[in-house]
Every structure is written in C-alpha cells, then in structure tokens.
C-alpha cells in the first residue's frame, strides 16, 4: 500500500530560482539535494518534494489554408478502402 511507503511529489515550475526561494524561505523546507534537473526538499520525517523545471509548451503548427484536420483523416481512410 502507498501508505506504507515514503512519498515524493514532483512539481514542475517555470522559474526554478523563485520556486527554490519559495519552498526554502517561505515554506521553510530544507533543500536536501540539488541536481542539474531539480532540487529535493524534505518535509517531515519521510516526505520529499522534487522541484524541477517545467517542459516548454509544445509548438502548435498552423493548419495550411484550405485544409482541415478532418479532411486529412477522411482522405486517408477513403484511400485505404479503395
């Protein structure tokens, strides 16, 4: 059961410096390990939070004029039936 194990939450943030300051200074959590990928903060006797940079939002490419996603799907399926 989960209740029998230690827990570690992974929290994605946009600004690592601000998040590190907030979790350390404002919430009073102890930074126990810093890695290039993020920082671990200890809370209580066994709970950890892992603060890491969030991934950039995926780039959404525009649909070319005169086409739609559904027309591409219909076209693909109609070719498979023929």
pLDDT value at residue 36: 82
Are 32 and 46 in contact by the 8 Å Cβ rule? The answer is no
Domains of the chain listed by start with CATH number:
1-54 (3.10.180.10)
Which distant-in-sequence residues (6+ apart) come within 8 Å of 48 by Cβ? 6, 7, 8, 9, 32, 40, 41, 42
Categorize the per-residue pLDDT at 82 as very low, low, confident or very high, splitting at 50, 70 and 90. Answer: low
Average pLDDT score, the chain: 75
Pick the range with the lowest mean pLDDT from 3-7, 15-19, 60-64.
60-64
Distance CA 38, CA 12 (A): 9
pLDDT value at residue 26: 93
DSSP 5: S
Two tokens, residue 17: 């410096």
Higher-confidence residue of 23 and 6: namely: 23
pTM: 0.57
């Amino acid at each position: 059961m989960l209740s029998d194990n230690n827990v570690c939450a992974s929290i994605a943030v946009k600004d690592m410096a601000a998040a590190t300051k907030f979790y350390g200074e404002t919430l009073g959590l102890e930074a126990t390990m810093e890695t290039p990928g993020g920082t671990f903060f200890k809370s209580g006797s066994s709970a950890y939070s892992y603060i890491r940079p969030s991934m950039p939002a995926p780039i959404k490419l525009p649909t070319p004029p005169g086409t739609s996603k559904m027309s591409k799907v219909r076209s693909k399926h109609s070719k498979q039936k023929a």
